[in-house]
A and B are shown apart, each in its own frame.
Chain A
Amino acid sequence: MDKELKRRIEEIYKDTEVEFPEANRMVLKTKKENLLPILEFLKREGFRQLKAISCVDWIEEGEFELVYLLSSLNTPLHIMVKVRVGRESPEIETIMKIFENAQVYEREIHELFGVKFRGNPDLSPLFLENWQNLPPFRKDFDTREYVKEKFEQIPFVEEKK
């Protein structure tokens, strides 16, 4: 059944690569433009639950890689759809029309990595308040330098004896 799925995907959508690295796992690499049609196709096949959206920062290649994790209630197969976005001004369409709960995952990635999702109604920050620096999960943000600058400059309270 998995080989059958792979054959149909590769037939309809050119320039996608499908692999089976381990038992019950399928990895699909595709281009930005093919993302929404492929996700609709997979949802019609029975993969109705979006488990998470994750993001990896490949700083040497100058790209962000977005990973969409899907699963189904009928088979144990688990699919990871991967898309690459440039690092300079990263932007991509939102997938809220297909999976509603993508809204919270896209809000988290926008705050921590700086990727813009066109069409998402609410991209306000979740965890941090008044944050003016680089988005903190990028590889060029040095957290130990930031701690030294911000927290260790504040002196202890002197005691008047």
Chain B
Amino acid sequence: MRELELFFGPQHPGMVGNFSITLKVEGDRILEAIPNPGYLHRGFEKLMELRNWIQNFPMVCRINVIEPDSMEAVYAMAVESLANIEVPERAKYIRTIVLELARLASHLFGAWAYANMLGFDTPAQWAMADRDHILDLFEELTGGRVYHIYILPGGVRRDLPDGFEEKVMHFLHALSQKLPDYNETFFENRIFYERAKNIGKIEKEEAIEWGATGQVLRATGVKYDIRKVEPYLVYDKVEFDIPTREDGDAYSRILVIRDEMLESAKIIMQCIEKMPKGKVYERLPNPFKWKIPKGETYVRVESSRGELGLYMVSNGGNTPYRVHFRTPSFNHGLFILPRLLKGASIADVGNIMISLYVVAPEIDR
């Protein structure tokens, strides 16, 4: 049989995001897969060196479009670490609530993408409609549905409006009542089990050697979560568990995500009960004249896809000297994906790619 070269290109009904893969196939088996990133490259890290510390905030949240809050949080934590700013207690609780709501919304988006790819239309529509209620909550809190610019160095922008806590509890209660329906149609469906079992299997030692983090690592049996290893914000004051599974294939990864959604709901409810009163931000100096002393730092946060890190160097000036984002999709999409696609069949390409939760703008920045 001859060897052919096919393009699983950017304009394709099975592709979520602007990313392309070149496949060398023989019959139905894939011999080699070569990813082509670069369709979304803007040169962020160079542009951020030309703007102030505060002018960089609207830029930072547009790197990962599906979960912009974790990007804002990691940048604010890096600036606070270099400039020695203390965050008030109430602001830490509010930041935790915002980050966990963003994690829920991102997991529901991932459930939509995966269910749509495999042909389960009904749970896909439910997941997207539930995610819209979270975006309504964000619009009431911050003013925008997708890009919030709410977490600043020194706290958050403004306090919670009246009646916000009741609306969040009402939403979580409604979501937990729908969970048996989701389980029956999607997560514990016999057809889904047949389609996702033993697809894209990673062993435990391979996952550690290849630098995987997030659900890809937790589905192979390693209990590693930045929220427990190096607790930031108020994660050491609330109780939650880290779900893991043993097999390391696509089915385990989606079940880890379902269990994480339940843990996020628990964390939000505990934060709402324990939140103290007080002020929510520290005043910052004049942004045009604010110079941060020399130094470097590395901060990390557990985003919904893995470990998100930021390495920042300051030279004592008005603008950052070097900013480098360590995004989880760079490793998963460019290094792990070609190794999993070798030997798979063409019908499984979309299945494996979405089960690794690769987000295209995080690769290119």
Interface residues of A (CB under 8 A from B): 21-22, 24-25, 48-52, 54, 56-57, 67, 69, 73, 76, 78, 80, 99-101, 103-104, 126-129, 136-137, 143
Contacts and interface: CB of A to CB of B under 8 A. Distances in A.
A25 to B, nearest CB: 7
Contacts of A127: 37-38, 41, 364
Contact of B298 (A48, A80, A103, A129): A80
A100 B46 contact: no
A74 B222 CA distance: 11
A51 B208 contact: no
A56 B209 contact: no
Given A126-B38, A128-B41, A137-B45, A51 B334 contact: no
29 contacts: A22-B81, A22-B297, A24-B230, A49-B208, A50-B211, A51-B307, A51-B309, A52-B309, A52-B324, A52-B326, A54-B324, A54-B326, A69-B298, A73-B224, A76-B230, A78-B298, A100-B209, A100-B335, A101-B210, A101-B211, A101-B331, A104-B331, A127-B41, A127-B364, A128-B38, A128-B41, A136-B46, A137-B45, A137-B46
B43 interface: yes
Interface of B: 37-38, 41, 43, 45-47, 50, 81, 208-211, 213, 222, 224, 229-230, 295, 297-298, 300, 307, 309, 311, 313, 321-322, 324, 326, 330-331, 334-335, 364
Most B CB contacts (10 A, CB to CB) among A21, A104, A136 go to: A104
Main SS class of interface, B:
mixed
A36 to B, nearest CB: 17
Nearest to B38: A127
Contacts of A21: 295
Contacts of A100: 209-210, 335
Contacts, number: 72
A54 B311 contact: yes
B46 A25 contact: no
Contacts of A80: 298
A57 to B, nearest CB: 7
Given A22-B81, A22-B297, A56-B322, A51 B38 contact: no
A23 to B, nearest CB: 9
A88 B24 CA distance: 39
List the 10 closest pairs (A to B, CB-CB), nearest first: A127-B38, A127-B41, A52-B326, A54-B324, A101-B211, A104-B334, A76-B230, A56-B322, A101-B335, A76-B229
B46 A143 contact: yes
Contacts of B209: 48, 100
B2 to A, nearest CB: 25
A14 B273 CA distance: 54
Given A56-B321, A99-B211, 17 more contacts: A24-B230, A51-B307, A52-B309, A54-B326, A56-B313, A69-B311, A80-B298, A100-B210, A100-B335, A101-B210, A101-B331, A104-B331, A126-B38, A126-B334, A127-B364, A128-B38, A136-B43
